[in-house]
Structure 1
Amino acid sequence: MSKRRAEDAPVTVRARAESRPAKIEALSEEERQERTEPSEDVASSTASITSSILEYRALNGRTFHSAAHAADYFMPNDGQQQESLDLVHHYLTLIMDGLLYLAPIPSDTEGLTVLDVGTGTGIWAIDFADVHSDADVVGTDLSPIQPSWIPRNVRFEIEDATVDWSFRADSFDFIHMRYLLGGISDWTALFERAYRCCKPGGWVESVEVEPILYSDDGTTDGNPFIEKFATLFLEASNKTGKSFIVPSDDVQRLGMEAAGFSDLQVVDFKVPMGGWPRDPRLAEVGRISHVALETDIEGYTMMLWHHVLQWPLDGYQPFLDGMRKTLRDKRTHPYMKLRVVYGRKSETE
């Protein structure tokens, strides 16, 4: 995977910050027949948790974060979910032209202190540490699921982003946070914590996707499974008070602005789901995003369906089967909204 610093492509980043994503053009039926698609058999794996000190919750055959660290966080933390999250990292890097971030952090990263909030498998923090070997990188998450074989300049810590952070004020030059949807009830408070821990002149970047499937050509309209998928997250947002539709709610920009960040930039992308786009790069993004979702569609929906909304049990498996069939239908051209927002803490702070 290609990794480049944001400063290596300032024109690209600046142009995107001033524009909205264009309509994605789909392949014609003739072009679709000619294109050779990779196998769409989606393999998933599970990882055993071997440490006796980890007390994860077991629900419906899956493991979730310990209740001591998070009450009813909706995503599991087992191997199947980890595989999906690594695929998400892959398509996010690809859709941003190989960049790990968009914020214009200093080109000289010697001594740079970086915090990755909600690090998950730690893949972003590890990639950043590999590229910037002279930076000091910390990744925080609810569960210690990160690998032990890591670069010397990165470390991982258990931290709940929804409560006061343990770091001292003015600790980090760059704070990166990604895919916290469904876990944050007060986004302004989250960015206030980031503001406190960010050094004067430092940058904070937030990357969030919206798990609603849209289309520019109407091919998702009226599909009962896509509509059910949207309803699941919309009703979960209302019931839990934690937004799952972060880009549409604009909570990143509003929260960062209220926390005191300046020089805010909002960059929107469309993440295709499936290899239907005519553009080869977007088609690759779509194939990876499709595999990422199918690898653990249960992990993204199980807790919400069964425990948050308590929908009928007998409707869950038909819903999953219908979603898989819909995602594999090349006549349907869905995409998700992705929003990147970054801002700077004042030098005089």
Structure 2
Amino acid sequence: MAQEHRDQPETQPESHGETQPDGQFETQPEAQAVAFGAGSDHDFRFEIPYYTQPEHDDDDDGASTASLKASILDYRRENGRTYHRFSDGHYVLPNDDLEQERLDIANHMWTVVWDGQLCLCPKKNGAKRVLDLGTGTGIWALDYADEHPTATVIGVDLSPIQPEYVPPNCQFEIDDLEKEWAWPEKFDFVFSRNMIGCFNDWEWIAKQAFENLEPGGYFEIHDNLYPVACDDGTLTEDHALYKWSSLLCEAIARMGRSLTITSEFEGILQRVGFENVTVTKQKMPASPWPEDPRLQEIGSWVQASLLPGIEGMAMALLTRVMGWKPAEVIIFGSQVRQDVKNLGVHAYWYGYSVYGRKPASKKEVPKEISREKPNESLQVDSPKRENLKRKSPHPESPK
């Protein structure tokens, strides 16, 4: 087998942490359905879809529940980071404390990008029933639930990393969104952010959103467009930041996914039947290099969210897919970090908001896109606390 070509540091120290040969890693059988979040001990219970729930658990049920709890919370430990266990390997970013902090910083970054707005479609003024795809720490769902107390907000993710105490109108579920969606009630707003590279088939995801929306409902996507860009030649192919961005695109493409699909969302939404599709773009500098004060502020937050995530965003992709050693990723990450800190490097991404409306009246929609039959979802029944606010962290201003 030919050796894969890759850019890497000149020195190649010994690997640290756990690695798997040829990018392979073990998977664990998935659980069928479970609810958690009630009480500090995360009490679990089975939900048996399409069948009658037994009134009393026997010993076998108790053992199965304990096994289920262990399988979900026993995160994969790999190269010093932890990753989700449910649908093992589908998502390539970590779920540990460092990544959760980065996600919360990124949440504030996006609110700065959109002038304090959680979304740009008409549902910024309120919705009845909201679905947040890939909710992560749940911070967007929590913010929307706090801002719109009459809305019911459901956040979905592969990792149970959301807080236990949430507003009474917010809940979280553990589910694989690449399986058929099976919510019993339709939504009037479906939201997705930072999910490029997570799905093999975005057109199918958009179709699921369409089918699970009420007539007149909205689907909105927020994401960056890769690879990193530069207008004045201060970022070249020799820069580590450029190589990092390109390697992420290549590795995710080998998995059958895309980091460059953001510019295609407009056409995807139109093809599955959405109308009045609206695209808004905003330049997002990699650091506070611009002279414009607004772009400086955006760049400060992009830099603050990027610096702690460089290795985390690359570790699984470069070790599992590209054959790198963990130590190589760490050394490479330090080189990328220097480029991000260098205000002489005028790198940026474009941030996109793309939303569309499901027609209010019946009309012919595109032919159904078939997929494999899903596993059942994992329901999270979180205990609730009135008036909980979760604030975004504010990093120190870059010097």
Normalising by the smaller structure, the TM-score range is 0.7 to 0.9
- Over 3 Å counting, the alpha-carbon distance change for 1:79 and 1:313 in structure 2 is closer
Residue 349 (structure 2) aligns with? 336
1:195 aligns with 2:214: no
Higher RCO, 1 vs 2 (CA within 8 Å, ≥6 residues apart): 2
- Over 3 Å counting, the alpha-carbon distance change for 1:327 and 1:106 in structure 2 is closer
Shift of 1:227: 2.7
Residue 310 (structure 1) aligns with? 323
1:285 equivalent among 282, 293, 298: 298
Residue 151 (structure 2) aligns with? 135
* Structure 2 residue matching 1:255: 3-state secondary structure: helix
1 CA distance for matches of 2:317 and 2:171? 32
2 CA distance for matches of 1:205 and 1:267? 11
User: Which stretch of the first structure deviates more once superposed, 194-203 or 321-330?
Assistant: 321-330
2 CA distance for matches of 1:214 and 1:108? 35
1:166 aligns with 2:179: no
1:102 aligns with 2:117: no
Residue 247 (structure 1) aligns with? 262
For 2:276, the aligned partner's letter is D
- Over 3 Å counting, the alpha-carbon distance change for 1:127 and 1:108 in structure 2 is closer
8 A contact 1:119–1:139 mirrored in 2: yes
1:85 aligns with 2:98: no
Give 5+ residue unaligned stretches, structure 2: 1-40, 43-68, 363-399
1:61 aligns with 2:80: yes
8 A contact 2:283–2:350 mirrored in 1: yes
Residue 201 (structure 2) aligns with? 186
TM-score for the superposition, normalised by structure 2: 0.70
Give 5+ residue unaligned stretches, structure 1: 1-49
Larger radius of gyration: 2
2:164 equivalent among 148, 153, 158: 148
- Over 3 Å counting, the alpha-carbon distance change for 1:313 and 1:155 in structure 2 is closer
2 CA distance for matches of 1:253 and 1:160? 24
Identity %: 37
Residue 27 (structure 2) aligns with? none
Residue 213 (structure 1) aligns with? 228
Shift of 1:312: 5.1
2 CA distance for matches of 1:322 and 1:342? 37
2 CA distance for matches of 1:101 and 1:173? 14
8 A contact 1:139–1:156 mirrored in 2: yes
2 CA distance for matches of 1:223 and 1:91? 28
2 CA distance for matches of 1:128 and 1:70? 29
Residue 235 (structure 1) aligns with? 250
8 A contact 1:256–1:343 mirrored in 2: yes
1:324 aligns with 2:343: no
| 1:114-149 Cα shifts (integer Å, max 9, x gaps) | 111111111101111111111111111111100112
- Over 3 Å counting, the alpha-carbon distance change for 1:296 and 1:106 in structure 2 is closer
1:257 aligns with 2:275: no
2 CA distance for matches of 1:128 and 1:72? 27
Aligned CA-pair RMSD: 1.8
* Structure 2 residue matching 1:105: 3-state secondary structure: helix
* Structure 2 residue matching 1:199: 3-state secondary structure: strand
8 A contact 1:274–1:290 mirrored in 2: yes
For 1:240, the aligned partner's letter is M
- Over 3 Å counting, the alpha-carbon distance change for 1:163 and 1:332 in structure 2 is same
8 A contact 2:219–2:355 mirrored in 1: yes
Residue 37 (structure 1) aligns with? none
* Structure 2 residue matching 1:296: 3-state secondary structure: helix
- Over 3 Å counting, the alpha-carbon distance change for 1:86 and 1:211 in structure 2 is farther
8 A contact 1:87–1:288 mirrored in 2: yes
| 1:290-315 Cα shifts (integer Å, max 9, x gaps) | 11111121110000111111135563
- Over 3 Å counting, the alpha-carbon distance change for 1:108 and 1:138 in structure 2 is closer
TM-score for the superposition, normalised by structure 1: 0.80
| 1:219-255 Cα shifts (integer Å, max 9, x gaps) | 112333123112212211321111112224x1x2232
2 CA distance for matches of 1:133 and 1:258? 34
2 CA distance for matches of 1:217 and 1:108? 42
1 CA distance for matches of 2:165 and 2:159? 17
- Over 3 Å counting, the alpha-carbon distance change for 1:258 and 1:304 in structure 2 is same
| 1:56-86 Cα shifts (integer Å, max 9, x gaps) | 11110111011x3243421011111011111
